[in-house]
Structure 1
Amino acid sequence: MTASPPLPRIAVLGAGHVGPVIARIAVAAGHPVSIAASGDPERIALITQILVPGAEPRWAADAVRDVDLVVLAIPLHRFADFDPGLVAGKLVVDTMNYWPPTDGVQALFEDSRYGSSEIVARRLDRSTVVKSFNHAGYHQLEEERRPAGHLERRALGVAADDKGAADLVADVVERIGYDAVLLDSLGAGRLLEPGGPVFGASLRRPEFELAVRGVPR
């Protein structure tokens, strides 16, 4: 009997609201998970033990070293100071949103020619960037998980220019309890942003696909 391949190893960068939730549901789905904040892992060790049992708190450089994908869940206003070299060569899942009423105006994200994840990708030019998880509230991500085939199973969008990267992230989305809907480019990730047709909406796959179909990008 052939053993099943190991599940993708995930590093979560960010220990605020979103990061621990994604880490927790990934651990629940069987993924090996490490989590890092901006400094010494000892500072989040107790939080991790309580909120994300099974995840390993590490220094950021150690957390990302041998993983298959990195979840970027830091506050967007801190991205300007983020070191692109930390995730060079990595698949990065951008969960951030540019929302001026919350984060204030961020000059880096003010170029209306690009979606926020395209701007992230331009700065992380040695990484492969995928946009996902950003259009669901962190509390919803855990509460709305459902097994495959469930009538109330919610869809989550996955936007990327790299098909292989999109497929890998889609597999993670499916495993943690959602139907993944692939968008055909990272630019199409604008549909997942604040003000987009699916932002904050709990939609099943048919409704989600209908919502994003034919919307100008």
Structure 2
Amino acid sequence: MGCWTARCRVLPQPEERSPSSAAIPPSASGCAPSISPGPPLPHLPRKSPSAIMKPINAHWKEPHMKLQYIKVGRVVNAHGIRGDLRVQPMGQSPDFLTQFRTLYLDGQPVHPESCRVHKSLVLLKLPGIEDMDSALAMKGKVLSIRREDAALPEGVFFDDELLGLQVVDADTGDSLGELKEVLPYPAHNLYRVVGQREYLIPAVQDVFIVSTDLDANEMRVHMMEGLATDEN
């Protein structure tokens, strides 16, 4: 039986070219065709700097962070030989500290065994502190309360809650700066406000202090001559 063999011819494969090597067909003049420009872009009016900048007296207020704990006293010394502590109240009267059955020390709750007023101090007896050496080791420690455990009259706040408030001139709406510090004085406290200038504003409600809004992070005040420190 005869057999046959199919003959086939392998065609040459086209040479691969990168897109950048593709030839541009010449124009009739032998040069690459020119590309005609598109229609001109529409003219957009430029905004003046005043249109995009905030007014100079505008102030952006961050949400005020509500405090979970309030500092109410600092251990200043030992009292006697049985482990009692001398506590200096911070921003409150000594009687105020005696109202709480739970205090917080280094973030941990402690339950005083006794707590009594002694002149301008509070004498405090804590569990586990039984002698003078243990009491002296507590010197400098800060005692706190939970904010939710304290009931203050409406419109009354702890000093620590006021720090960071934005202070605004109630008459003009201008921002005066941030309440940086509460300075204790016998007659009344002073609020140190720092902005473009520094002010010492008496903490006297309805005379200097118009309103205090922790949620809005704002205190509105009446300004008078002599409150800026550079005026004195």
TM-score (norm 2): 0.24
User: Considering only CA atoms, is the larger Rg found in Structure 1 or Structure 2?
Assistant: 2
Q: Which has the higher strand share?
A: 2
